[in-house]
Amino acid sequence: MSNINEYAKNITPSLYEKLKTAVETGKWLDGAVLTEEQKAHSLQLVMAYQKEFNEQPDHFTIAQNGEIYMESKKVLKSQFSEETDLSDTHIINL
């Protein structure tokens, strides 16, 4: 595989979830702490995977096609109160 994007296309959803959890917590599933290099590489792989497959991005993630997806505080608050106004959703192209 020539680059991280090609590698990301071939990892399983299960491996993606494990890498995502490791990046979020700073630890592998067995409790071992990630090195700075592992954090950087894992984060790059998570972002590359999201770029390919993230059809329903969270409030701040990489959406398909490499866009950074962010929702405003207003949208997040309304989601918790069951009212959603997507007019305040922002997408930034990379």
Q: How do residues 37-65 score in pLDDT, each as one tens digit?
A: 999 999 999 989 888 887 665 556 666 66
Distances (CA, A) of 73 to 42, 50, 52, 79, 83: 28, 22, 26, 10, 13
Do 63 and 24 sit in the same domain of this protein?
no
Residue-level pLDDT at 73: 63
Mean residue pLDDT of the chain comes to 77
Range of the domain at 68: 57-94
Q: Are residues 12 and 42 in the same domain?
A: yes
The reply to whether 48 and 26 lie within a common domain is yes
* The pTM of the whole model exceeds 0.75: no
Is 5 or 71 the better-scoring residue by pLDDT?
A: 5
Please say if the pLDDT value at position 3 is more than 80.
yes
- Is residue 2 located within the same domain as residue 44? yes
66 and 45, same structural domain?
no
User: Does residue 28 surpass a pLDDT of 60?
Assistant: yes
